[in-house]
Amino acid sequence: MSKYTIGLDFGTLDGRAMLVDVKTGKEIVGASYTYPDGVIEDILPNTKTKLPPDYALQNPIDYLDVLKRVIPELLKKSRVYPENIIGIGVDFTSCTMLPIDKQGIPLCMKEKWKDNPHAWVKLWKHHAAEPYANKLREIALKGKEKFILRYGGKISSEWMFPKIWQILEESPEIYEAADRFIEAGDWIVLQLTGKERRSSCQAGYKAIWDKKEGYPSPEFFATLHPRLKNVVEEKLSNKIYPTGSKAGGLTLRMAQLTGLKENTPVAVGIIDAHSAVPACTVTQPGKMVLIMGTSTSHTLLSKEQKLIPGIPSVVEDGILPGFFGYEAGQAAVGDIFDWFVTNCVPASYEREAQKQGVNIYRLLEKKASKLKPGESGLIALDWWNGNRSILNKANLSGLILGLTLRTKSEEIYRALIEATAFGTRVIIETFEKNGLPIEELYACGGMPHKDRLLMQIYADVTGREIKVASSRQASALGAAMFGALAAGSEAGGYDSIKDAVTYMTSLEKKTYLPIPENVKAYNQLFTEYKKLHDYFGRGSNQVMERLKRR
C-alpha cells in the first residue's frame, strides 16, 4: 500500500497543500485557497482604520481557513485513506509574525484589539519597522555585539525584533497584552499539534538566534528599550527545534476539522524558501537555489561559515543539518511584474491579448522576446520593495531610466525582468567574491515553469546554466519531504533528507544555457546597473530614502 505525506505551503497570497507519494515523489493532488483578505495594506478589514505607509498585514483566520478547506479537498480529490497519510510538513513566509494570548489565539481575533493594526499578523513584507531595524543595527554596531557580524552588519526591517520593537513603541498595550509573539509558521504547527515548537530555521534567519550563541543578551535588548530586556524569556518560545524533526501529532480537534487521523506526525515548520532547497535536489555546496515568486530567495549550502557583507543570514543547520545555510533575497520580483501589469499596461494590450486568447503576461513575453539585450535603451533598478540583499535597505525604491517617446510597454517589461536578473547577479558576485563559488543555479517557484524568456534572461545575465525543479510547488514538496522525515522510515517515511531527495525529487529536462552574445551584451548593461546600484544604494545620492521618508 502506498504511503503519502502532505506539504502545507503558506505563501503571500494563498495557502496550498499537496499530497505526495512518499516512494516516488509523485504529486498526487494539490489544492489551494486564496486568502480573502490577501495582503492588507490600506484599510484594516471590517474597520475604517487606514494604515500608514509600508504596512503589510494579514488575517490569521485566512490561514485557518486554508487548513479547513484544502486538506479535506485533498482527501476528497485523491480518495486516499487518512491512515495512509503518514506525515505533514509546514512551510510559511517569514518573518511573518503575530501576537497571541496564552491559549494561542491571535489578538486581532479578539473584539478588544481588532481595530489595532498591531494586533494583526505582520507579513514578511511589512516594512514599517524600518526605523527600528536601523536603530537596532546602529546600537548593535556601536556596542560591537558579536551577533551583528553574523548578519553582515545588517538587520532587516522584515525580521522579528524590529517588528516586536515597533509594536512596543507604537502600541505598548498590544505588547503587554501579547502572551507571546510567534512566527505564523510556528503558529500553524501549534494549531495542528497543540504544541509550540519554535523552528531553528525561522529563529536563525529572522530572529538573530544562533545554535551556539543563542539570542542577543538581555543587556543588549535593554539598551533598545527597558521593557525589551527580557523579551526572549517573556515573549518568545525559547526552546528551538531543528528543521526535519517532529513537532508532534495532530490533535483530535484538528483531525476532526481536516479529516486526517489523530496523531499524524507533523514536522517542525520551515521558511517557504528553505523548504524548496531539497525539493530542487540540492543537498550540497556550489549550487544556488532560486525560489522565484512574488519575491526571490537565494539559498546556498556550505561547510564553511563566512561573514559576507550584505548577506545577512548564515544559519547553522538552518536549511539542512550539517551545513551552514546562507540566504539572500530580492524583496520584490514577481511582485514588480504584477505591479506593472496592473498599473502600467495599456488597454490596447489588454484587447490584443484577448484577441490572441492569451493572458497579458504571455503577450508581453511574446513581444519582449523579440527584443535584443540593450535594444530598448532602458535600464531599471529593481527596488520596488526596497533592497534586501546586498544593500539591505527597505527605503530604496524602483527606478527606470532610458525612457523615450518610442518606449513600448514590452520594453519596460523586459527591462524590469533584466533588472531583477541583475539584482540576482549582484548577489551571486558577492558570494563568489567572499569565497563561496557558485557553479550552477537551480530554480523553482511560480515563474521558472511558465516564463521561458525570464529564465533565459537570468541565464544570460548570470552567465550560468539554470536547472529547473520538476515540481511546480517546490516549497510544498519540500514540506511534504519534511513530513516524511517527521514520520520516519518505520512508518514508511525517511530518516535522512538524502534519502528523501533520492526518492521524492527530480529536475526538468529543459535547462537554460547562457547564449554567448547575450552574455556579452548583458555584461555591458550590468556595468551600468552596478554603477546606478552603487550611486543610489551606497550613499552617493540618498534621494530615494529622502523622498520615501516624507
Residues that bind a copy of itself (CB under 8 A): 41, 53, 332, 335-336, 339, 342-348, 350, 374-375, 377-379, 384-385, 397-409, 525, 528, 531-532, 535-536, 541, 543-544, 546-548, 550
In the complex, least distance from residue 52 CB atom to a copy of itself, rounded to whole angstroms:
12
Residue partners of 195: CB distance under 8 A and separation at least 6: 189, 247, 248
Compare residues 199 and 376 and give the one whose CB is closer to a copy of itself. 376
In the complex, least distance from residue 330 CB atom to a copy of itself, rounded to whole angstroms:
13
Dihedral over alpha carbons 430, 436, 442, 443 (to 10 degrees): -30
Give the three cell numbers for residue 341. Answer: 501589469
Compare residues 344 and 513 and give the one whose CB is closer to a copy of itself. 344
Q: What is the DSSP string of 89-147?
A: EEEE-TT-EEEE-TTS-BGGGSTTTTT-GGGSEE-TT--TTHHHHHHHHHHHHHTT-HH
Contact 207, 315 (CB under 8 A): no
Residue 507 is classified by DSSP as B
In the complex, least distance from residue 14 CB atom to a copy of itself, rounded to whole angstroms:
18
In the complex, least distance from residue 54 CB atom to a copy of itself, rounded to whole angstroms:
9
Closest by CA position to 444, among listed 285, 244, 283, 296: 296
In the complex, least distance from residue 502 CB atom to a copy of itself, rounded to whole angstroms:
40
In the complex, least distance from residue 385 CB atom to a copy of itself, rounded to whole angstroms:
6
Chain mean position to CA 74: 24
Compare residues 297 and 395 and give the one whose CB is closer to a copy of itself. 395
Compare residues 91 and 410 and give the one whose CB is closer to a copy of itself. 410
Give the three cell numbers for residue 235. Answer: 515573549
In the complex, least distance from residue 126 CB atom to a copy of itself, rounded to whole angstroms:
13
Compare residues 323 and 337 and give the one whose CB is closer to a copy of itself. 337
Overall residue count recorded for the chain in this entry: 550
Say how far apart CA 386 and CA 394 lie, in whole Å: 4
Say how far apart CA 535 and CA 541 lie, in whole Å: 6
If you compute the radius of gyration of the chain from its CA atoms, what whole number of angstroms results?
23
Say how far apart CA 422 and CA 383 lie, in whole Å: 11
Letter for the amino acid at 511? T
Q: What is the DSSP string of 375-397?
A: TT--EEE--BTBB-SSS-BTT--
Handedness of CA 163, 168, 174, 175 (dihedral sign): positive
Give the three cell numbers for residue 343. Answer: 498599473
Give the three cell numbers for residue 200. Answer: 531553528
* Residue 228, CA distances (Å) to 166, 360, 486 in order: 11, 49, 35
In the complex, least distance from residue 515 CB atom to a copy of itself, rounded to whole angstroms:
17
Compare residues 457 and 468 and give the one whose CB is closer to a copy of itself. 457
Residue located via cell numbers 504511503: 3
Cα separation of the two ends of the chain? 63
Determine phi and psi for 100, rounding to 5 degrees.
-130, 165
In the complex, least distance from residue 143 CB atom to a copy of itself, rounded to whole angstroms:
33
Compare residues 131 and 488 and give the one whose CB is closer to a copy of itself. 131
Compare residues 51 and 491 and give the one whose CB is closer to a copy of itself. 51
Letter for the amino acid at 471? S
In the complex, least distance from residue 382 CB atom to a copy of itself, rounded to whole angstroms:
10
Give the three cell numbers for residue 499. Answer: 534519502
Compare residues 93 and 258 and give the one whose CB is closer to a copy of itself. 93
Helix (H, G, I), strand (E, B) or coil at 8: strand
In the complex, least distance from residue 307 CB atom to a copy of itself, rounded to whole angstroms:
31
Give the three cell numbers for residue 234. Answer: 517573556
Compare residues 138 and 375 and give the one whose CB is closer to a copy of itself. 375
Compare residues 279 and 379 and give the one whose CB is closer to a copy of itself. 379
Say how far apart CA 371 and CA 278 lie, in whole Å: 36
In the complex, least distance from residue 345 CB atom to a copy of itself, rounded to whole angstroms:
6
Compare residues 160 and 379 and give the one whose CB is closer to a copy of itself. 379
Compare residues 439 and 534 and give the one whose CB is closer to a copy of itself. 534
In the complex, least distance from residue 375 CB atom to a copy of itself, rounded to whole angstroms:
7
Determine phi and psi for 92, rounding to 5 degrees.
-150, 155
